[in-house]
Structure 1
């Protein structure tokens, strides 16, 4: 099958979802109001609550949620064939992720910018809130620790990406000053920022920077991890307009340009997909497609982390409530487009089926490296660019999105620490909250594995926890809709599907962790399973109460 067919069908489906389905959800279900005063205005503080242009905010939201996961998940999942991965990404983006991300943003904006963790207390009760915060904290811990390891591995394996990755920080700082301090508008800073960023990619491809085996007594990977966490800590303390917003915005432009280059290469090269649509000869040890497909591809189909971003940082910057459709739903579409590109690179970027089978000789064999190498081959064939330049561009793209996710993830983890402190009866200031969040993440990265590899120890639970969190977020949105007397079916259907698949996956993983003697993951699995089921039960009770209350209101009105 030609990859062009996959590309055009996927893009058309997501475009139709945004144009029609998201409009229906905005008008009939969430009922957005143009004159509603958002928390960015009512609680404006110049640090976290800042009214923001919707294009800039979309850039922040999109790049914060589009980390390494929408590349890694599909790159692993195509081992079952491109068909299941493609269908889950497209259907998940249109009917699951868009509604979830959009809904989390709307719910938070309507409740003074509160996070989903705090909203769970308002709508499903105190016990549910406390357990919800446990799941959130564990997920953020996985994201921050694991992404630091993913980035460090790419910086070591692709030294040509070092200059553009760190140079992008300076570009973002300049853009932030131009837009907010000097009121330069968006057009010329955007054009100049993208031009400089791609110039840095060219410079990096010419001058790679490879660290020696030992730096300040640490291995190269460990050094990069420490540096990444220090950067993320500083970035999370700065006002969002200084670095977070402009960095995310310029990265969003860079991704769309990068996707455009990749898609153009596919259209010109017209590659054949060498991988099977449904692989009936998976390697030994590969888990079953159901339920593992639906937790292996989390980001790119639906992700609970998106709800944390939408309610944690994005809701505090939304200028108008009507912008929520563009920022929330289209942000999910952008990530779906990235996952679609990953599927094509990892199935059509190989010369033969034998070459593909060599990489996918075991479960997990395909990863971000398969995306970079496959994309590099497509760009070289389609556009004639040097392979070194193509691999630098794709590696930089993957690193920048993982890094922006770390920026936002650490800020969100600080919010969770501060919220937990409030619930315990004491105030945690911003600096202390950030230090505590950093300490926990670094303890995992360096305490559970050699050379900073510990962040990947809990990666097997990331996808499952992510999908459980998405289900719980949809449960809260459903409770809100029921209490408002609106039809919750559009959130309840994805909620039921995700809850069943995630719990099923957790149970399957319990047996695996027990057989492997992996007591850390076994213990975390049990904690997450119990907490999620408890929150789901509390949410079901809240839905029943909300339905009764809505019925009484209708009866009284009659």
Structure 2
């Protein structure tokens, strides 16, 4: 199938389903009201609770949920074939992921911007709070540590991206100053900031920064330390100082990157390059790969549905949306925009890589030979650097077809990936601070009410995990095999909570979240059980113990939710669920 036609069909589907299914859910299921009280206004403090225009908060929300998730997942899942990958991205994002993100956002906005742990405690029962927190905490800990490594790996692979990524910080703070202190027009000045940032991309192409080992620490270790320090600072600043303006720039950067890739698809299709999908349509048993069912639904998370999104919805976003009517655009719309990105990732790794692939021996391969070399086996395709490289090189090939020099195209995509990973990293740190504060809110331990203490604990634990394997900062990779299942079981549990909430509202509206919860929960438990057998067979006690813990905690929360669901009648007050 022609890559361009597949891309256009998917894009048209996302637009149609947002207008039909998304608006139906907002209007009929959640009954959005522009007059409803929202936490951003009721609890405004100028630091975390800040009423924000929907275009700006969309930028924050999207760049936070995106990160590298919608890139690395599809970039490896395509090994099972581009057809199953695209079906899951398309159907999953519309029917599951967007419902999950939007539902978590609405529930949090209707509960003072509280986290999903607190919301679950309210709508199911207080016993679930601690168990739910275990899943949330592991998810956030791995994200904070692993995304620091992701950026470090990108810096090491694409040194041209270093300067632009770091210079984006002062540019964003300047933009925040202009908008919030000087009253400048947000759109106009954000475009100026974007132009400045792309000027630094060109500068970075000519001034690449590649570190050498310092004091025994390899480059990845040095960058990981620097990024953890950055995450601490960024996540304690008021959202208007860095988080919002940086994410507004990144949302524009996303539009530029998407536009360049789309233009590249057209340019390559109608040029001598002839962009065609070279990956197999279906490849059920790649060498060394786990079974496509259930692992397709675990490998592609952010592009279809991801539990981390609910943490962003209920962590930072719910505290900034200034009207319930904006929540559909922010929550449902962001997920479909992420699906657009994942669709382009599929195009890049299934077709773009075929335009030219440089091997370690110096040869340049094209077509099916290029794809088959990179995806020769599960072991060859699953490495962190391999996933990123497949997308960056495939996308750069398409952008080059539009007339942009390949070196600049590589820098653009490297900065794009690193910027989004940085957003996710410090947002996850901020959310972990919220989670720690909430966990101890009703206990005699008051120290976690101090944002610097709770943030320091979050960063310290992430640092311990990152450097648990040595100075390279790759310790989080020891827990990375758990992340997919933890992330997806979290999504299934959040959908379960939404289902209980909708059951209380009456009718059969709970079906829109209940069916996705059952499907995703079943697939994830299936994967957890397969992994448990594998970890035990290999004698990996760390992964085996944590995997079993996640399974037990998840089944406990699910059982409590089912009991609550069966006992709940329409019109049950939320306080009775406490």
Given the two structures, how large is their TM-score scaled by the length of structure 2?
Answer: 0.93
Residue 407 of structure 1: which of 419, 426, 447 is its match?
Answer: 426
5 Å matches for 1:271-310?
A: 271-280=275-284, 282-283=286-287, 285-310=288-313
Unpaired stretches in structure 2, ≥5 consecutive residues = 270-274, 355-365, 382-386, 574-578
Task: Report which stretch shifted further, 448-457 or 507-516.
Answer: 448-457
Residue 359, structure 1, aligned to residue 374, structure 2: yes
Q: Which residue of 2 aligns with 1:233?
A: 232
1:375-398 residue CA offsets vs partner (Å, 9 max, x unmatched): 111111x21211111111111111
Inter-CA distance 483–548: structure 2 relative to 1 (3 Å threshold): closer
Contact 2:284/2:291 (<8 A) preserved: no
**Offset at residue 99 of structure 1 (A):** 0.8
Residue 410 of structure 2: which of 381, 387, 391 is its match?
Answer: 391
**Offset at residue 404 of structure 1 (A):** 0.1
**Offset at residue 424 of structure 1 (A):** 3.4
Instruction: State the alpha-carbon separation in 2 of the partners of residues 374 and 256 from structure 1.
Output: 18
1:37-85 residue CA offsets vs partner (Å, 9 max, x unmatched): 2111111111100000100000000000001111000000000000011
Instruction: State the alpha-carbon separation in 2 of the partners of residues 505 and 220 from structure 1.
Output: 35
Instruction: State the alpha-carbon separation in 1 of the partners of residues 278 and 68 from structure 2.
Output: 24
Residue 388 of structure 2: which of 365, 368, 385 is its match?
Answer: 368
Instruction: State the alpha-carbon separation in 2 of the partners of residues 188 and 34 from structure 1.
Output: 27
1:58 counterpart SS class: helix
Instruction: State the alpha-carbon separation in 1 of the partners of residues 215 and 313 from structure 2.
Output: 39
Q: Which residue of 1 aligns with 2:246?
A: 247
Residue 467 of structure 2: which of 443, 446, 457 is its match?
Answer: 446
Instruction: State the alpha-carbon separation in 1 of the partners of residues 503 and 178 from structure 2.
Output: 45
Q: Which residue of 2 aligns with 1:103?
A: 103
Contact 1:449/1:455 (<8 A) preserved: no
Q: Which residue of 1 aligns with 2:436?
A: 417
**Offset at residue 417 of structure 1 (A):** 1.3
Inter-CA distance 188–548: structure 2 relative to 1 (3 Å threshold): closer
Residue 530, structure 1, aligned to residue 536, structure 2: no
Contact 2:75/2:390 (<8 A) preserved: yes
1:140-176 residue CA offsets vs partner (Å, 9 max, x unmatched): 0111111111110110110000011111111110111
1:228-257 residue CA offsets vs partner (Å, 9 max, x unmatched): 000010001000110011111110110111
Instruction: State the alpha-carbon separation in 2 of the partners of residues 248 and 139 from structure 1.
Output: 22
**Offset at residue 281 of structure 1 (A):** 5.5
Instruction: State the alpha-carbon separation in 2 of the partners of residues 205 and 263 from structure 1.
Output: 23
Q: Which residue of 2 aligns with 1:331?
A: 334
2:525 counterpart SS class: helix
Inter-CA distance 280–120: structure 2 relative to 1 (3 Å threshold): closer
5 Å matches for 1:155-194?
A: 155-194=155-194
Residue 474, structure 1, aligned to residue 495, structure 2: yes
**Offset at residue 216 of structure 1 (A):** 4.1
Residue 81, structure 1, aligned to residue 81, structure 2: yes
Residue 506 of structure 1: which of 503, 528, 531 is its match?
Answer: 528
**Offset at residue 33 of structure 1 (A):** 0.5
Residue 145, structure 1, aligned to residue 164, structure 2: no
Contact 1:52/1:318 (<8 A) preserved: yes
**Offset at residue 20 of structure 1 (A):** 1.1
1:276 counterpart SS class: coil
Inter-CA distance 195–448: structure 2 relative to 1 (3 Å threshold): same
**Offset at residue 550 of structure 1 (A):** 5.1
Instruction: State the alpha-carbon separation in 1 of the partners of residues 284 and 493 from structure 2.
Output: 34
Inter-CA distance 312–280: structure 2 relative to 1 (3 Å threshold): closer
Q: Which residue of 2 aligns with 1:456?
A: 477
Aligned residues: 548
1:458-509 residue CA offsets vs partner (Å, 9 max, x unmatched): 1111111111101111111111111122420001111111100010010011
**Offset at residue 543 of structure 1 (A):** 1.1
Instruction: State the alpha-carbon separation in 1 of the partners of residues 69 and 93 from structure 2.
Output: 14
1:240-280 residue CA offsets vs partner (Å, 9 max, x unmatched): 11001111111011011111001110011110000111015
Contact 1:108/1:116 (<8 A) preserved: yes
Residue 378, structure 1, aligned to residue 377, structure 2: no
Instruction: State the alpha-carbon separation in 2 of the partners of residues 68 and 461 from structure 1.
Output: 17
Q: Which residue of 1 aligns with 2:451?
A: 430
Residue 49, structure 1, aligned to residue 53, structure 2: no
Q: Which residue of 1 aligns with 2:576?
A: none
Contact 1:80/1:279 (<8 A) preserved: yes
Instruction: State the alpha-carbon separation in 1 of the partners of residues 572 and 158 from structure 2.
Output: 57
1:52 counterpart SS class: coil
**Offset at residue 357 of structure 1 (A):** 1.1
**Offset at residue 95 of structure 1 (A):** 0.8
5 Å matches for 1:17-96?
A: 17-96=17-96
Inter-CA distance 219–540: structure 2 relative to 1 (3 Å threshold): same
Residue 322, structure 1, aligned to residue 325, structure 2: yes
Residue 517 of structure 2: which of 487, 495, 517 is its match?
Answer: 495
**Offset at residue 426 of structure 1 (A):** 2.0
Contact 2:505/2:571 (<8 A) preserved: no
Unpaired stretches in structure 1, ≥5 consecutive residues = 552-558
**Offset at residue 109 of structure 1 (A):** 0.5
Inter-CA distance 26–515: structure 2 relative to 1 (3 Å threshold): same
> What do you get for the CA RMSD once the two structures are aligned?
1.3
Instruction: State the alpha-carbon separation in 2 of the partners of residues 357 and 99 from structure 1.
Output: 36
Given the two structures, how large is their TM-score scaled by the length of structure 1?
Answer: 0.96
1:109-147 residue CA offsets vs partner (Å, 9 max, x unmatched): 011111101111111112211100010000001111111
Instruction: State the alpha-carbon separation in 2 of the partners of residues 181 and 76 from structure 1.
Output: 45
Instruction: State the alpha-carbon separation in 2 of the partners of residues 252 and 364 from structure 1.
Output: 33
Q: Which residue of 1 aligns with 2:222?
A: 223
